[in-house]
C-alpha cells in the first residue's frame, strides 16, 4: 500500500503542529522557570505574587490548559482540511 | 448487559448531565443535612461515619448498576464516554491520596521547590495529547501492551510491556490503599489494618462487576465529591480573611506576609538561617538539576502510565480523545492550582499564631493533631498546653515561646486541619475526609483495573488461551482483580517504609519503559520490533538498576558502579566521609534500611533516584534508533498500519472479538 500524497501532506502538517506545541510546552514547562530568580524580583501589582513563583504555581498551568484546548481544535482543522477527520 | 440495545445506551449518554446534576445536588443536600445534625448535637464521630458510609454506598450502587457481561464494556466502557465526562473520570483517576492530602503539605514544607510536583503532574498532559493518546485510541487497543504487541511483533513485546505496567502500577496502587487506611483511621478512629481492608471493599464494589464501565461512572461521582471537598474550606477561609472567595488570587497577599514574617522571625531569634526555608526562594531543597529532572520525569511519566492512557481508549472518537485530554487537565488544574493556597494560608497561620506565641496561648486546633502525634513541639506530641509547656521546660535555656526549630508537623495535617484553622464546623472536616477517600479510591480503582486487565487480557487471553470464551475471559478478569487487590492491601497493611517515594518511582519506571517505544512506534515507521524490545529492556533496566542500587545496595554502587555522594543545593556532600561510611560494618549489606547512611544518598551526576527515568528514557530512544537502523525495515503492511493510526477517519486497526 503506497501512501498517497494527501496523507503525506496531512502528516507533514501534523508533525509541524506537534513540534510547535512541544516548543511551547518546553517554554512554559522549563525555560520560564530557568529565570525564576530574576522574575521573583518583579511583584505582580495588587495580587502581590512574586512573578517567578506565580509562573510555577499558576501561570504555566493555565498555559497548559489553554494549549490543550487550542491543540484539539487545530489538529481537528488539519484533519478536516485533508479529509481524514471522522464523521460527526 | 448483553441484552442492552444501543438505543438504550444513547439515552443513557443523553441523560448524563441530568443524572450527575441531580447527584451533585443530592450530595450538597446531604452535607447540609449533616450540618443540621451537627447543630442539633449529634457527635462528630457519628457524622464522620455517616459521611464515609454514605459516599461509599453511593459508589457501590453505581458500581452494581453498571455491571456488565460484555467484553468491550468491561475493558473500554463500550467506547462511548463523552469527552467532558471522560475528563472528569481521568481527573479522579489521576488525583490520588498524595495529591489530595500530601501535595499541599509538600508545598508547605518545601515552598517554591515543591512546585516541581505541581508542574510535573500537570504538564505531562500536553505530551499525552500531542504525542500518544489519540493515536492509541485510533489503534483500538484494550490495553497498552496490546499496542506494543501489535506494533512490535507479538508476545515478547507484550510480555515486557506487561512487566513494566505491573512494576509501576502495583507500587502505586499499594500507596493508594495505604492512603485510604490513613484517612479512615484518622477520621474514624479505626485501626489502620482494618481501615485498609474496609478501603479494599470500597474499591472492589466499584470495579469488580463492571470493569472500566463501572469505574468510569463511579470516578465521575468521586471527582465531584473530591473537588467540592477540596475547594470548600479554602474558599471559606479566603472569604473570611480577604473578602474574596477566590483563594488562588488572595494567597499572593499571604505569601507577601509570610516573606515579611520570615525576616521578622530571623531578627527575633525565632528561627535560624539554617532551619528556615524561605517560601518563595527556589532551589533550597532540590538543586536546579534535580528540580527540572523531577519535573521532566513526572511529565513524561504521565504520558507513559497505562492507567491514564487507557482512559482515552473509552472515548467515542479520536477527536473526542483530544478534547478529553484538555478537559482532564482542566479538572486536574482546579485542584492543583489551589494546593499552593492551602500551603500559604497554613504557613501564615503557623508563623503568626504558633511561632513566637507564648506557650500558654497556643491555638487549640492543633491539639487534636498533636494528640495523634502529627504535630510535635519541643520534641513531644503537642497534645495539650500542659504537655507543650512540660516538653519545652525540659530543654535547657528554652525562651518560653515556640521557635521554628521546636515545631514539627506531619505534611498530611495541612489539608486536614484547614477547616479547624478557619474555625469551620466539624461537618466540613468530614467533607474533607470523604474527599480524600474519594481521591484514594478512584485512583486505586483505575490502577487495579490496569493491572488486572493486563493480566487477564494480555497474559491470559492473548498469550495463554486465545480461544477462551467470553464468559471465562470475564471470570478470569474478575478473579485476577480480586487477587491483585488483596495482594496490594496486604502489602499496604505491612506499612512498607518506601511507600511514598514509590509513587515517584512509578513515574520514572513508566517513562523509561514505555515512552520511547510508544513515541517511536507512532512517529517513526522505521522502528523495528527488535529495536523496540531492546530499547524497552535497556531503558527500563537502567532505570531500575539505578533505583535499586542507590536505594538498597548503595555500597555496591560506590564500590563497583562509580557512584559518588550526592550534594545538597548548598554544595555540601550528603555522605560526609565516604571512606568511613564504606568501612562501616554494614555498608555492603544488601536491602539496607532507609536509615542507612548511604541509602538514597549516592548516585551519578548528583541525580536523585526519583528522576532515574532521565537516565533510562534517553538510552531507550538511542537503542531503538540504533538497533532499528541495523535491522531490516518493517514490512510494508506494518507501515501501512502505522499510516492508518495516524488518520482519525476509518475503522480501528485492531478489531477485537467482542461477543
Residue B653: the pLDDT is 84
Residue B6 has pLDDT above 60, yes or no: no
Q: Which residue, among A29, A57, A87, would best test binding to B if mutated, counting the most B CBs under 10 Å from its CB?
A: A57
Half-sphere CA count of A6, side-chain side, radius 13 A = 8
**Binary contact (B282, A64; C-beta < 8 A):** no
Residues 6+ apart with CB under 8 A from B640: A1, A3
Distance CA B231, CA B430 (A): 14
> In whole angstroms, how large is the CA radius of gyration of chain B?
26
If residue B564 lies in a helix (H) or strand (E), which one and from where to where?
strand B564-565
List the one residue out of B533, B504, B451, B528 whose CA is nearest residue B614: B504
- The reply to whether residue B322 touches residue A10, judged by beta carbons under 8 angstroms, is no
Cα angle at B100 between B354 and A64, to 5 degrees? 115
Of B612, B347, B616, B342, residue with least CA distance to B501:
B612
- Using the predicted structure, report yes or no on whether residue B1 has a pLDDT greater than 50: no
Orientation of helix B211-242 relative to helix B339-353, angle to 10°: 40
Nearest to A85 among B118, B125, B648 (CB): B648
Which of B126, B277, B332 is best to mutate for the A interface (most A CBs within 10 A)? B126
- Closest residue of B to A84, CA-based? B649
pLDDT per residue over B611-622, tens digit each? 999 999 999 999
Section B317-334 average pLDDT: 97
> B578 versus B508: which is more confidently predicted?
B508
First CA to last CA distance, chain B: 11
A50-64, B343-357, B405-419 — which one is most confidently predicted on average?
Answer: A50-64
Three cell numbers, residue B321: 480523545
> Between chains, do B326 and A47 touch, taking CB under 8 Å as contact?
no
Residues B130, A25: C-beta atoms closer than 8 Å: yes
Question: Using the beta-carbon criterion (under 8 Å), do A68 and B253 form an inter-chain contact?
Answer: no
Instruction: Give the residue-averaged pLDDT of A60-69.
Output: 98
- The 10 Å Cβ neighbour count of residue B169 is 26
**Average pLDDT of span A48-73:** 96
Determine the average pLDDT of the residues in B153-163. 94
Of A1, A22, A53, the CB nearest to B640: A1
Q: Contacts of residue A41 in chain B, CB cutoff 8 Å?
A: none
C-alpha B264: how far from chain center: 37
From chain A residues 60-79, the ones with a CB under 8 A of any chain B CB are 60-62, 64-65, 67-69, 71-72, 75-76, 79
Q: Is the pLDDT of residue B409 over 60?
A: yes
pLDDT at A37 over 50: yes
The band of B659, judged by pLDDT with boundaries at 50, 70 and 90, is very low
Q: What's the mean pLDDT in B368-397?
A: 86
Chain B residues closer than 8 Å to A53 by CB: 112, 115, 255, 280
Q: How far apart are the first and last CA of chain A?
A: 27
User: Looking at the DSSP assignment, which residues form a beta bridge with residue A50?
Assistant: A43
- Given an 8 Å threshold on Cβ–Cβ distance, is B112 in contact with A56? yes
Q: Among A37-41, A64-68, B127-131, B396-400, name the one with the lowest average pLDDT.
A: B396-400
Return the pLDDT at B5: 44
Residue B328 has pLDDT above 50, yes or no: yes
More confident residue, A78 or B185: A78
Window 15-44 of A, Cβ < 8 Å to B: 15, 18, 21-22, 25, 28-30, 33, 36-37, 40, 43-44
Interface test with A, best of B117, B241, B526, B643 (most A CBs within 10 A): B643
Q: What is the pLDDT of residue B3?
A: 38
Q: How far apart are CA A87 and CA B78, in angstroms?
A: 19
Mean pLDDT of B38-67: 90
Confidence of residue B292 (pLDDT cuts 50, 70, 90): very high
Q: Which of B493-502, B574-583, B594-603 has the lowest mean pLDDT?
A: B493-502
**Taking residues B367-372, what's their average pLDDT?**
83
Which of A25, A50, A86 is facing B318, going by the closest CB pair? A86
pLDDT over 80 at B640, yes or no? yes
Which residues of B are less than 8 Å from A71 in CB distance? 126, 129-130, 322, 326
Q: How many CB atoms lie within 10 A of CB B649?
A: 15
State the CB neighbour count (10 A cutoff) for residue B466.
9
Contacts (Cβ under 8 Å, ≥6 apart) of A77: none
| Helix then strand then coil, % of chain A, to nearest 5 | 75, 0, 25
Reported as a single tens digit per residue, the pLDDT across B179-206 is 888 888 777 778 888 888 888 888 888 8
The interaxial angle of helices A5-26 and B115-127, nearest 10 deg, is 170
- Cβ pair A65:B323 closer than 8 A: no
Candidates A47, A48, A68; nearest CB to B125: A68
B60, B205 contact by CB (below 8 A): yes
By Cβ distance, the residue of A36, A71, A76 closest to B282 is A36
For residues B291-298, give the mean pLDDT. Answer: 96
Q: Are strands B407-409 and B375-377 parallel, antiparallel or unpaired?
A: antiparallel
Indicate the SS3 state at residue B376.
strand
pLDDT at B592 over 90: no
- Cβ distance A48 to B322 less than 8 Å, yes or no, reads no
A53 at the B interface (CB within 8 A)? Answer: yes
Q: Give the nearest partner residue to B130 out of A10, A18, A69, using CB atoms.
A: A18
Among residues B298, B302, B295, which one has the least CA distance to residue B131?
B302
pLDDT band, residue B280 (cuts 50/70/90): very high
Asked if residue B8 has pLDDT above 60, the reply is: no
Q: Do B118 and A57 touch (CB under 8 A)?
A: yes
ipTM over cut 0.85: yes
Which range, A26-30, B283-287, B570-574, has the best average confidence (pLDDT)?
Answer: A26-30
Q: Is the pLDDT of residue B586 over 80?
A: no
Instruction: Closest CB to B280: pick one of A40, A69, A83.
Output: A40
Q: Do A86 and B255 touch (CB under 8 A)?
A: no
Nearest residue on chain A to B646, judged by CA atoms?
A11
Contact B126 A25 (CB under 8 A): yes
| pLDDT beyond 70 at B9 | no
Lowest mean pLDDT among B134-138, B372-376, B527-531: B372-376
Q: Smallest Cβ distance to A64: which of B126, B253, B637?
A: B126
* High-pLDDT (> 70) share of chain B, %: 98
Contacts B281 to A, Cβ<8 Å: 40
Partner residue facing B280 (CB), from A14, A50, A58: A50
The Cα B311–Cα B384 span in angstroms is: 48
Cell 467470553, residue?
B470
Is B60 a residue whose pLDDT tops 80? yes
* Helices marked H in B361-469: 365-371, 385-393, 413-421, 426-453
More confident residue, B514 or B13: B514
Helix (H, G, I), strand (E, B) or coil at B659: coil
Distance CA A55, CA A48 (A): 13
Query: In chain B, pLDDT over 90 holds for what percent of residues?
Result: 59
pLDDT level of residue B2 (50, 70, 90 thresholds):
very low
Least confident of A32-36, B248-252, B260-264, B383-387: B383-387
**3-state class of B396 per DSSP?**
coil
Model confidence over B458-498: pLDDT tens digits?
A: 999 999 999 899 889 989 999 999 999 999 999 888 887 77
Which residue of B lies nearest to A21 if distances are taken between CA atoms?
B130
Amino acid at each position: 500500500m503506497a501512501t498517497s500524497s494527501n496523507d503525506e501532506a496531512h502528516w507533514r502538517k501534523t508533525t509541524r503542529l506537534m513540534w510547535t506545541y512541544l516548543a511551547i510546552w518546553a517554554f512554559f514547562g522549563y525555560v520560564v522557570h530557568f529565570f525564576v530568580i530574576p522574575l521573583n524580583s518583579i511583584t505582580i501589582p495588587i495580587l502581590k505574587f512574586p512573578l517567578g513563583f506565580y509562573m510555577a504555581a499558576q501561570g504555566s498551568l493555565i498555559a497548559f490548559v489553554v494549549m490543550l484546548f487550542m491543540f484539539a481544535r487545530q489538529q481537528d482543522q488539519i484533519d478536516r482540511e485533508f479529509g481524514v477527520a471522522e464523521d460527526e | 448487559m448483553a441484552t442492552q440495545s444501543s438505543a438504550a445506551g444513547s439515552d443513557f449518554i443523553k441523560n448524563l448531565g441530568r443524572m450527575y446534576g441531580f447527584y451533585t445536588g443530592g450530595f450538597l443536600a446531604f452535607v447540609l443535612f449533616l450540618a443540621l445534625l451537627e447543630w442539633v448535637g449529634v457527635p462528630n464521630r457519628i457524622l464522620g461515619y455517616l459521611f464515609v458510609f454514605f459516599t461509599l454506598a453511593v459508589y457501590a450502587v453505581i458500581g452494581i448498576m453498571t455491571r456488565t457481561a460484555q467484553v468491550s464494556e468491561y475493558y473500554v466502557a463500550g467506547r462511548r464516554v463523552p469527552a467532558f465526562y471522560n475528563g472528569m473520570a481521568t481527573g479522579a483517576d489521576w488525583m490520588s491520596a498524595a495529591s489530595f492530602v500530601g501535595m499541599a503539605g509538600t508545598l508547605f514544607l518545601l515552598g517554591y521547590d515543591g512546585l516541581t510536583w505541581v508542574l510535573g503532574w500537570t504538564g505531562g498532559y500536553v505530551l499525552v495529547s500531542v504525542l500518544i493518546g489519540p493515536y492509541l485510541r485510533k489503534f483500538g487497543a484494550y490495553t497498552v501492551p496490546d499496542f506494543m504487541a501489535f506494533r512490535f511483533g507479538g508476545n515478547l513485546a507484550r510480555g515486557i510491556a506487561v512487566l513494566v505496567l505491573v512494576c509501576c502500577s502495583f507500587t502505586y496502587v499499594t500507596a493508594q490503599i495505604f492512603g485510604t487506611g490513613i484517612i479512615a483511621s484518622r477520621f474514624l478512629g479505626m485501626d489502620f489494618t482494618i481501615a485498609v481492608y474496609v478501603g479494599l471493599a470500597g474499591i472492589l464494589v466499584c470495579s469488580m462487576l463492571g470493569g472500566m464501565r463501572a469505574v468510569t461512572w463511579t470516578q465521575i461521582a468521586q471527582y465531584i465529591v473530591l473537588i467540592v471537598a477540596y475547594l470548600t474550606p479554602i474558599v471559606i477561609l479566603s472569604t473570611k480573611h480577604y473578602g474574596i472567595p477566590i483563594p488562588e488570587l488572595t494567597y499572593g497577599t499571604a505569601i507577601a506576609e509570610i516573606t515579611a514574617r520570615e525576616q521578622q522571625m530571623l531578627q527575633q531569634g525565632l528561627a535560624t538561617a539554617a532551619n528556615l526555608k524561605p517560601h518563595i526562594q527556589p532551589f533550597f531543597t532540590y538543586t536546579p538539576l534535580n528540580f527540572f529532572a523531577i519535573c521532566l520525569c513526572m511529565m513524561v511519566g504521565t504520558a507513559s502510565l497505562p492507567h491514564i492512557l487507557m482512559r482515552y481508549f473509552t472515548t467515542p472518537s479520536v477527536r473526542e480523545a483530544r478534547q478529553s485530554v484538555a478537559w482532564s487537565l482542566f479538572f486536574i488544574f482546579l485542584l492543583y492550582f489551589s494546593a499552593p493556597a492551602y500551603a500559604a494560608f497554613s504557613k501564615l497561620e503557623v508563623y503568626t499564631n504558633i511561632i513566637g506565641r507564648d506557650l500558654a496561648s497556643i491555638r487549640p486546633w492543633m491539639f487534636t493533631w498533636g494528640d495523634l502525634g502529627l504535630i510535635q513541639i519541643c520534641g513531644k506530641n503537642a497534645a495539650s498546653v500542659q504537655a507543650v509547656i512540660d516538653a519545652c521546660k525540659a530543654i535547657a535555656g528554652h525562651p518560653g515561646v515556640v521557635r521554628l526549630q521546636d515545631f514539627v508537623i506531619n505534611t498530611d495535617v495541612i489539608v486536614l486541619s484547614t477547616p479547624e484553622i478557619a474555625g469551620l464546623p466539624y461537618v466540613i472536616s468530614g467533607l474533607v475526609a470523604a474527599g480524600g477517600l474519594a481521591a484514594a479510591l478512584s485512583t486505586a480503582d483505575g490502577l487495579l483495573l490496569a493491572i488486572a486487565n493486563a493480566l487477564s487480557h494480555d497474559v491470559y487471553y492473548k498469550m495463554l488461551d486465545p480461544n477462551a470464551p467470553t464468559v471465562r475471559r470475564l471470570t478470569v478478569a474478575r478473579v485476577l482483580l480480586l487477587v491483585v487487590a488483596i495482594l496490594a492491601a496486604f502489602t499496604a497493611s505491612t506499612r512498607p517504609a518506601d511507600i511514598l517515594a514509590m509513587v515517584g518511582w512509578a513515574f520514572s519506571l513508566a517513562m523509561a519503559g514505555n515512552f520511547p517505544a510508544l513515541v517511536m512506534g507512532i512517529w517513526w515507521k522505521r522502528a523495528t520490533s527488535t529495536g523496540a524490545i531492546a530499547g524497552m529492556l535497556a531503558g527500563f533496566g537502567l532505570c531500575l538498576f539505578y533505583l535499586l542500587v542507590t536505594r538498597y545496595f548503595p555500597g555496591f554502587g560506590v564500590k563497583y558502579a562509580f557512584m559518588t555522594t550526592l550534594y545538597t543545593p548548598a554544595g555540601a556532600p550528603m555522605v560526609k566521609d565516604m571512606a568511613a561510611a564504606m568501612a562501616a560494618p554494614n555498608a555492603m549489606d544488601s536491602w539496607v534500611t532507609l536509615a542507612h547512611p548511604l541509602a538514597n544518598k549516592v548516585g551519578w551526576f548528583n541525580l536523585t533516584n526519583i528522576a532515574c527515568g532521565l537516565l533510562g528514557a534517553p538510552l531507550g530512544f538511542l537503542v531503538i534508533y540504533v538497533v532499528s537502523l541495523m535491522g531490516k525495515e518493517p514490512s510494508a503492511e506494518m507501515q501501512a498500519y502505522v499510516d492508518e493510526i495516524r488518520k482519525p477517519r476509518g475503522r480501528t486497526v485492531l478489531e477485537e472479538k467482542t461477543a
